[in-house]
Homo-oligomer: A and B are copies of this chain.
Amino acid sequence: MQLGMIGLGRMGGNIVRRLMQRGHQAVVHDRAEAAVAMLAAEGAVGAASLADLVQKLQAPRAVWVMLPAGAATEDTVMQLGDLLSPGDVIIDGGNSFWRDDVRRAGVLREKGVHYVDVGTSGGVWGLERGYCMMIGGDREAVDRLDPIFAALAPGLGDIPRTPGRDGRDPRVEQGYLHAGPNGAGHFVKMIHNGIEYGMMQAYAEGFDILKSADAPVRPDNERFSFDLADIAEVWRRGSVVSSWLLDLTADALASDGKLDGFSGYVDDSGEGRWTIQAAIEQATPAEVLTAALYTRFRSRQEHTFAEKMLSAMRKGFGGHVEAPGKPSASDNAAVARGEGGNA
């Protein structure tokens, strides 16, 4: 089958490669001409513009947009809406906000153009392992794109089958899911990333406690100097917390056991935030997912204003003047021994 691809970054380029490896044809476009040239050298048809790309595809066309969520995706989708013909389909495979999908699909529907939102997980490993896809859109369009999804998905592989799935939609076991109408694909992907944040933070906190077990807050026979790389590795094997994220963690720790190569400055993408927004709209408690997000916010500041407020209040009622390195009645070792201050 033939697919147009707009956006040849880390994700888009590899998606095209995986499709071509499995016998599909791709017409590709990117603002960076070098990216187009590289894929053309690998067998894709290069396109110099959106209009050129549309012209080089046979109707009914399928155009996958793989750009940063927000303005880049919005503009491209809207321009494509003007260039395409009734019966064509636009796939937004990026990390768009699900409400944008609902809105865009409505606009395009009036032009007879289908819109399919695809949450795509797999990162830099997807070319080799395949992509897990969560899909929203009308059935006609999703079904027509099935060869594309089937080629991109991991397939059954050697992952054990879940009992009790006989008679259920077989695509799910292949690694792609038609989750519902427009917006559903990105909604599920949003929650996927929210969970990802929570899991990452769970590991991160656990390893941090393992690391600080060597701090001099306890007598020598109650302190431990753990090899974190070995702990990550052993947990991969038969433990309840084994996961792909743990595999990656074991990788990282095996090569840099103290993670000195990392700053500790942690970005967040929109999905973590939108997950909390959905939780709040739906009055669903989400303590862990929220705490995971806030850790990232905090990681990007030297000190929050909130912390200065605490210091100011402490000075107000107790005369405490605080600073790192300053001797204090309540340094950690002292507090651990039960020697607190007065308030």
Contact = CB atoms under 8 A, between A and B. Distances in A.
A310 B319 contact: no
A199 interface: yes
10 contacts: A96-B338, A181-B221, A194-B206, A198-B205, A203-B309, A212-B284, A243-B246, A252-B316, A283-B332, A291-B291
Contact of A281 (B205, B217, B314): B217
A123 interface: yes
A227 B286 CA distance: 20
B309 A343 contact: no
A195 B123 CA distance: 24
Interface in A72-122: 72, 94-97, 99-100, 102, 106, 120-122
Q: Which 6 A-B pairs have the closest CB atoms?
A: A198-B202, A264-B303, A70-B339, A243-B243, A269-B340, A248-B316
Contacts of A162: 233, 236, 247, 250-251, 254
* Majority SS at the chain A contact face: helix
A198 B209 contact: no
Contacts of A290: 287, 290, 294
A284 B122 contact: no
A272 B235 CA distance: 17
A105 to B, nearest CB: 9
Contacts of A126: 238
Most central of A10, A157, A197, A273 by chain B CB within 10 Å: A273
Interface string A220-254: 01101111011101111111111111111111111
A130 interface: yes
A297 B317 contact: no
A319 B264 contact: no
Given A249-B309, A329-B68, A304 B322 contact: no
B265 A323 contact: yes
Interface in A311-342: 311-320, 322-324, 328-332, 334-342
